[in-house]
């Protein structure tokens, strides 16, 4: 790879919706207008233009096996300027901030409580998972293990996580056991750009690098990750456009540096929305403790 070119590369991202269920319709039909983890992660069983060797296999392949072969074929046939990756987007489990906001109401949360460190009993600075959030993540981990076994869903070749505590812990609870069960190394990459939209809410302020390293010693922290949180400000909101640009940059870095065709991102509700917008796709909301799968086409723009 020409690293000087890669460092200055720019990509146009496009989400390819025809391979997965209609997430917008699922959200519309849901009582809380949020998408949950779908059977087989939402993959639509359909024919593909497959290599001859695959067609001649005596044993029928599972839909995910055929889809994975198709993705590999797409990447082999396209020029170096076009790449396809499947992203597993996981929203963290229920956090203490989610519960407190529901308790006091959105207006009271946004105008008062979200600016505090806590209510004197619980703290939501870099909000942690609730017991329900832990359970959601554990259930999702079992779903993953079963999907890999029965549906032959490819495990993510690379796993990235937001540095906020609720995502770090969700990543551990969802992926550590399935990775170990199938003999894969569990070394998620902590990536600053995957954080939630930056607001003046203290729940969006991250812990120090030292704390993350102490709590999650097997995690790999990306180069240049600061000790203190340099992004969060108590008097500033990141605009939607700024957030989408930040997720655009995160995707560009992943497509430039990571050759795996199957990528896991453990992120946040509005982070998923920003990723969808960066791919020119209408956003939808995802429920806590859920994984959705999407196919993203990246074209390098010179």
- Residue 263 corresponds to which tokens in the numbers above? 């990528």
pLDDT in tens, the chain (302 residues): 333 334 455 899 999 999 999 999 999 999 999 999 999 999 999 998 755 444 555 678 999 999 999 999 999 998 779 999 999 999 999 999 999 999 999 999 999 999 999 999 999 999 999 999 999 999 999 999 999 999 999 999 999 999 999 999 999 999 999 999 999 999 999 999 999 999 999 999 999 999 999 999 999 999 999 999 999 999 999 999 999 999 999 999 999 999 999 999 999 999 999 999 999 999 999 999 999 999 999 999 97
CA distance 207 to 202: 11
Nearest to 160 by CA among 56, 271, 16: 271
In the chain, DSSP assigns E strands to: 10-15, 34-35, 82-91, 158-161, 189-190, 220-221, 262-267, 285-286, 291-301
Instruction: Given the residues 92, 97, 201, 243, select the one marked as catalytic.
Output: 92
Residue 48 CA to its chain's centroid (Å): 26
Supply the pTM of this predicted model.
0.93
Instruction: Given the residues 101, 169, 192, 196, select the one marked as catalytic.
Output: 196
**10 is an active site residue:** no
What pLDDT is attached to residue 3?
38
CA distance 167 to 161: 6
**196 is an active site residue:** yes
H helix runs in 258-287, sequence order: 269-278
Nearest to 255 by CA among 2, 4, 90, 12: 12
- Residue 288 corresponds to which tokens in the numbers above? 């806590």
What pLDDT is attached to residue 57?
56
Which structural domains are found in the chain, ordered by start?
A: 19-44+62-94+127-301 (3.40.50.1240)
What pLDDT is attached to residue 58?
60
Alpha carbons within 13 angstroms on the beta-carbon side of residue 160 total 24
């Amino acid at each position: 790879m020409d690293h000087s070119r890669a460092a200055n590369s720019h990509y146009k991202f496009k989400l390819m919706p025809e391979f997965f269920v209609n997430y917008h319709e699922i959200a519309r039909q849901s009582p809380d207008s949020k998408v949950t983890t779908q059977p087989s992660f939402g993959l639509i069983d359909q024919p593909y233009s497959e290599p001859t060797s695959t067609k001649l296999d005596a044993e029928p392949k599972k839909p995910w096996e055929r889809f994975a072969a198709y993705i590999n074929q797409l990447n082999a046939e396209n020029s170096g300027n076009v790449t396809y990756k499947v992203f597993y987007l996981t929203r963290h489990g229920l956090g203490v901030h989610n519960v407190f906001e529901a308790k006091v109401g959105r207006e009271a949360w946004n105008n008062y409580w979200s600016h505090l460190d806590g209510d004197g009993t619980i703290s939501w600075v870099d909000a942690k998972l609730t017991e329900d959030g832990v359970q959601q993540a554990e259930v999702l981990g079992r779903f993953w293990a079963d999907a890999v076994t029965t549906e032959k869903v490819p495990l993510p070749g690379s796993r990235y996580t937001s540095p906020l505590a609720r995502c770090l812990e969700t990543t551990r609870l969802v992926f550590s056991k399935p990775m170990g069960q199938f003999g894969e190394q569990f070394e998620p990459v902590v990536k600053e750009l995957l954080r939630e939209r930056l607001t003046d809410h203290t729940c969006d302020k991250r812990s120090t690098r030292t704390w993350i390293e102490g709590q999650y010693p097997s995690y790999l922290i990306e180069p240049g990750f600061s000790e203190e949180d340099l992004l969060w400000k108590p008097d500033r909101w990141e605009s939607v456009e700024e957030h989408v640009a930040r997720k655009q940059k995160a995707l560009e870095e992943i497509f430039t540096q990571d050759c795996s065709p199957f990528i896991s991102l453990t992120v946040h509700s509005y982070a998923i929305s920003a990723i969808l917008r960066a791919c020119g796709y209408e956003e939808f909301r995802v429920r806590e403790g859920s994984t959705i799968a999407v196919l993203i086409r990246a074209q390098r723009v010179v």
